[in-house]
Structure 1
Amino acid sequence: MIDDRKFAVLIDADNVSAKYIKFILDEISNYGVATYKRIYGDWTKPQVASWKDVLLENSVTPVQQYGYTVGKNATDSAMIIDAMDILYSGNVDGYCIVSSDSDFTKLSARLRESGMMVVGMGEKKTPKPFIAACNQFKYLDVLAESEKKALEEGSIQDSKAKPVESKPDIKAASNGNKQPEQTETGKYMTDINLIKAAIIRMMNEVDAEDQSMNMGEIGNRLVKRYPDFDVRNYGDTKLSKFLKKFDFLEIHQKGKGTSMWVSLKSDTPKETDEAPVPEVKKKRRTYKAKRRIVKIED
């Protein structure tokens, strides 16, 4: 079962902000239990000081790694070594690699070769090779933005309540690094046109007579093709809402079941057959008979 999976959560403090700790642990809880929670960095540097306040609250173990030389990051090596040690211990079923650095691409590929499920987490600036090396990849800035929208919608519905304390926390969780989000948003994230084309191909390959596919199956196939696929990346909270945006899809139920099924809408030729265009009467060509004049000789 998914709930019984044990995950090792390894965080690169040099490339991830402390404001994402809540979203990291909440998201990995959807896949299993975080048995290892370690964060790597040089804790003598002021850049990682913000992490110190949240480590005890979330029971995350800090791992100290000094920089041996200037300009070289020794944190990645320590994180990779620990990941392999945990792999050989046989105590986990998967990994959560939290970083926006492409240096962990080979590590993720190696863990997958050993049968581990790898969930990557990072910001939108994360390079594509690292994203492709994971089974699934989650954008932390998107998770923070979706959380902000959900809380704002809740406050709108409850007009009498005035969230004084929670509102600043939401801004703190979603602010920061806005410039990379604007400049790098569409650079690495899977384009929605690719998603559309993939759905059409999947629907055309269905063997069923009615050319329909279970909605959950579509979601699973999209994640396998595009590890960073998440409906929250495109402003939706559910897969059904995401698919309803596409005009070429029909969503329905089969029989008495509660599961949703998706099928392609009828193509243009079939629609025109149902509503035929009135025929235009052709004009008949008229021919004038020529008179033959026969001369009779006397």
Structure 2
Amino acid sequence: MSDTNQSSMAVLIDYENLALGTGKRRRNGHQDPGPRPDVKRILERLVDKGRITAKRAYCDWQRFEDAITPLHELGIELIEIPDRAYTGKNSADIRLAVDAMEMCLTKDHIDTFAILSGDSDFSPLVAKLKEFGKTVIGVGTKEATSTLLAENCDEFIFYEDIVKTGGIPDYAAKVPKEKHECYQLLFETIDALQGESDSAVLASRLKDTMRRKRPQFSERSFGYRSFSNLLREASKLGFITIHQDPKSGTVMVDGFCE
């Protein structure tokens, strides 16, 4: 599957909600920020679903200064939101919603919106985007996600499910160290794509998705003449099962070996 057949996605991040969701709730009901959310892992999960063409994060960045550089490095546009003590309202929610509708109405190529928040206040926005024919994916923490919002989205992914480890083969003992990066990317992508569908994954789609995760990826950098050779090696080592489509001759990945 080529990129031309993939969704074009805008990712809009309510950073405060995401950060507070990783923290712990105090006895007075307030939430303290937890470890800095792994936004890179979230984006890597979202590119399994399409090409990301816009990335914006909304917050009073004076409260989360340690996040500024990592988010800039991910190419995310940071939108400064005044402290609600001055505005009397959550301006981040309002600005995010306004930007989403502006994109919806003026950027026809964007057909999917990923809203990184668990705030129920975004439920009307989700409904309106769907009314305009857009697909809406939500991402939020289990602690801070409203059931109303999650049920209104076309799909909702919990942050904890994105960052949890395990589920892919342990390749360290069988694969040379210089190829570990390649195998990690390969297996993470297979795992994510098969989480979307139980059907076999086309090799070309698998490679396209890996290159959206890591634009610099090339199997030749790891000593393989072709991507199919990489898949065949992984199969011979007992990590994955593959077959060749009888009509097209294309290699298909069935999944991980039991």
Report the TM-score, using the length of structure 1 for normalisation.
0.49
Q: State yes or no: 1:72 paired with 2:89.
A: yes
Say which one has the larger Rg. 1
Select the residue among 161, 164, 171 that pairs with 1:142.
161
- Could you tell me which of 151, 154, 178 is aligned with 1:132? 151
SS in structure 1 at match of 2:57: strand
Cα distance between partner residues in 2 of 1:10 and 1:30: 17
Matched, 1:56 2:72: yes
Task: Give 1:231's aligned residue.
Answer: none
Change in CA separation of 1:131 and 1:56 when aligned onto 2, cut-off 3 Å: same
Q: State the 1:87 CA deviation.
A: 0.6
Report the alpha carbon displacement of residue 66 of structure 1 after superposing the two structures with TM.
0.5
Query: Contact 2:118 / 2:150 at 8 angstroms: preserved in 1?
Result: no
**2: CA distance between counterparts of 1:215 and 1:158?**
28
Matched AA of 1:14? E
Q: How does 1:86-235 map to 2 (within 5 A)?
A: 86-89=103-106, 90-125=108-143, 126-145=145-164, 148-150=165-167, 154=170, 158=173
Contact 1:2 1:32 in 2 (8 A): no
Match of residue 30 from structure 1: 48
Structure 2 residue identity aligned to 1:136: E
Unaligned runs of 5+ in 2: 20-35, 182-196, 200-245
Residue aligning to 2:11: 9
Q: Secondary structure at the match of 2:38?
A: helix
Separation of aligned partners in 2, 1:28 and 1:2: 17
Q: Given residue 102 of structure 2, which amino acid in structure 1 is its aligned partner? A: D
Distance in 2 of aligned mates of 1:215 and 1:26: 20
Q: Which residue of 2 aligns with 1:21?
A: 39
User: CA offsets per residue over residues 111-140 of structure 1, 9 Å max, x none?
Assistant: 011100101101112111101111111111
Matched length: 165
Aligned-pair distance for 1:69?
Answer: 3.2
The CA RMSD over aligned residues, in Å, is: 3.1
* 2:101 counterpart residue number: 84
AA at the equivalent of 1:154: D
Distance 2:51 2:44 in 1: 10
1:42 to 48, 56, 60: 60
Kept in 2: contact 1:42–1:67 (CA 8 A): yes
Distance 1:161 1:150 in 2: 21
CA displacement at 1:57 relative to structure 2: 1.6
Q: CA deviation at 1:67?
A: 2.7
Asked whether the equivalents of residues 10 and 96 of structure 1 are also in contact (C-alpha less than 8 Å), the reply is: yes
TM-score by length of 2: 0.56
Amino acid aligned to 2:55: K
CA distance in 2, matches of 1:64, 1:2: 36
Q: Cα gap change, 1:158/1:104 in structure 2, threshold over 3 Å: closer, same or farther?
A: same
For the Cα contact (< 8 Å) 2:119–2:146, is it kept in 1?
A: yes
CA distance in 1, matches of 2:65, 2:15: 10
Q: Which runs of 5+ in 1 are unaligned?
A: 167-213, 217-255, 261-298
